[in-house]
Amino acid sequence: MSAPEGRELAYAKINLSLDVLGVREDGYHELAMVMATVDLADTLIFRHEGEGLRVESQVSFLPTDRTNLAAAAAIAFQKATGRTIEPLMIQMDKHIPVCAGTAGGSSDAAAVLRYLNRVTGAELSLQELQTIGERVGSDVPYCIMGGTALAEGRGERLTALPPLPQCAVVLCKPNFSVSTPALFAQIDRCKIRRRPDTNGIVAALQAQDLQGVARRLYNVFEDVLLVRQKRTVESIKNTLVNQGALGAAMTGTGPTVFGLFSEVTAAEAAYKELAEYYPNTFLCHTV
C-alpha cells in the first residue's frame, strides 16, 4: 500500500452510568452503560515507511509490540480485509491517561481502524468496522462510533443517544491503578446494592436536561473498590461537588473520577484544587 502520512484523533470517554447485569456464557459480563465522548484526545500519526508494523509513544511503559491495542487493531483490520497495511509506523502522542477507565487504548484502536478503512479504500461500513473492533476490545465498537450512546451486551450493542448537553468536564485520575479483570471478578463476589437509573439518564438526555443526567451519574464498580481506593474516589467526588459540579462519578473500571459543570469558572477552580494533588487532572468539554 502506498499512502501519504496521516493523522487521527482518539477521544477519551466517560461513563455517565455503568451497570453490570450478570455473567455471560463466554465469561464476559452483560453490561448497560451510557457513555459520552470528551475532548481529551491522543493524536495518532501514521507513516508508511520502514519495515513491518511498529507502534511508538512517549509513555515508556506502554507496550510497543502487538499487545498494544493500536497494533492489535491494525492486525485485525489486515486479517479481516486482506489488505496490506505494512510498512506502517503508528506514532501516538498520548494525553489520555493509561489504564484509567477512559478508554484510551480502545480509542487508539478505533482511530487506527477508522484511518485504515479510509486510506486502504476498503470502505467498510461503520457496522463492519465495529465487528472488527469487537475482536480487539469490548469498548472499541463504541469508540469507533463516538458521541453519546447506550452500550449493552459486552459493550458492542450500541444505541446512539442525543448528545450530552454542552458542559465542562473535570477528569481526575487518582495515583493508583485498578485491574479491569480483577474488578469484574470482585463484582461477581458481591451483591450489587445500588444500581444506576439507566432509563432515567436516557430520558434526561432525550430531554436535554443536564442536571437530570448529572444527578443520576452512577457506576456499580465504585462500590467494590478496596476501602482505601473508595475513600480516595469519594474524596475526589466531594471536591468536585463542593466546587460546583452538578454531579460526579467514576468512569469505567476506574480509577478516574469526573464531574460535570455548567459553569466554566467552577470547573477551573475544581481543576486547580485537584491538580495540586493529582498530576493526571484534566479540564475538558463534551465533544
Name the residues annotated as catalytic. Answer: 13, 139
Task: Give the binding range for ligand C5P (CB under 6 A) out of 28-36, 143-151, 160-168, 220-228.
Answer: 28-36
3-state secondary structure 183-215: HHHHHHCCCCCCCCCHHHHHHHHHCCCHHHHHC
Strands (E) in 88-242, as ranges, are 88-93, 149-153, 157-160, 168-172, 218-219
Cell matching residue 53: 508494523
* Minimum CB distance to ligand C5P, residue 29 (Å): 4
Cell matching residue 204: 434526561
Selected from 52, 181, 189, 227, the binder of ligand C5P by CB under 6 A is 181
* Minimum CB distance to ligand C5P, residue 34 (Å): 15
Quick one: which H or E segment has residue 52?
Answer: none
* Minimum CB distance to ligand C5P, residue 213 (Å): 23
Q: How many CB atoms lie within 10 A of CB 258?
A: 29
Taking CB atoms, the residue at the shortest distance from ligand C5P is 138
Asked if 104 is part of the footprint of ligand C5P (rule: CB under 6 A), the reply reads no
Selected from 31, 32, 103, 250, the binder of ligand C5P by CB under 6 A is 31
The gap from C-alpha 29 to its chain's centroid, in whole angstroms, comes to: 17
Cell matching residue 112: 487506527
Nearer to ligand C5P by Cβ, of 18 and 204: the residue is 18
Asked if 232 is part of the footprint of ligand C5P (rule: CB under 6 A), the reply reads no
Contacting ligand C5P within 128-167 (CB under 6 A): 137-139, 154-155
Task: Name residues whose C-beta falls within 8 Å of residue 263's C-beta, 6 or more positions apart in sequence.
Answer: 168, 244
Task: Give the binding range for ligand C5P (CB under 6 A) out of 23-31, 195-203, 215-223, 243-251.
Answer: 23-31
Nearer to ligand C5P by Cβ, of 225 and 246: the residue is 225
- Reference 287, options 69, 99, 10, 73; nearest CA is 10
* Minimum CB distance to ligand C5P, residue 268 (Å): 33
Report DSSP state, residue 62.
S
Selected from 28, 48, 87, 277, the binder of ligand C5P by CB under 6 A is 28
Cell matching residue 47: 507513516
Asked if 15 is part of the footprint of ligand C5P (rule: CB under 6 A), the reply reads no
* Minimum CB distance to ligand C5P, residue 146 (Å): 17
Asked if 218 is part of the footprint of ligand C5P (rule: CB under 6 A), the reply reads no
Asked if 180 is part of the footprint of ligand C5P (rule: CB under 6 A), the reply reads yes
Selected from 46, 115, 184, 261, the binder of ligand C5P by CB under 6 A is 184
The separation between the first and the last C-alpha atoms of the chain, rounded to the nearest angstrom, is: 33
CA of 46: how far to CAs of 7, 49, 51, 113, 197, in Å?
6, 9, 13, 12, 41
Instruction: Point out which residues bind ligand C5P (CB under 6 A).
Output: 28-29, 31, 137-139, 154-155, 180-181, 184
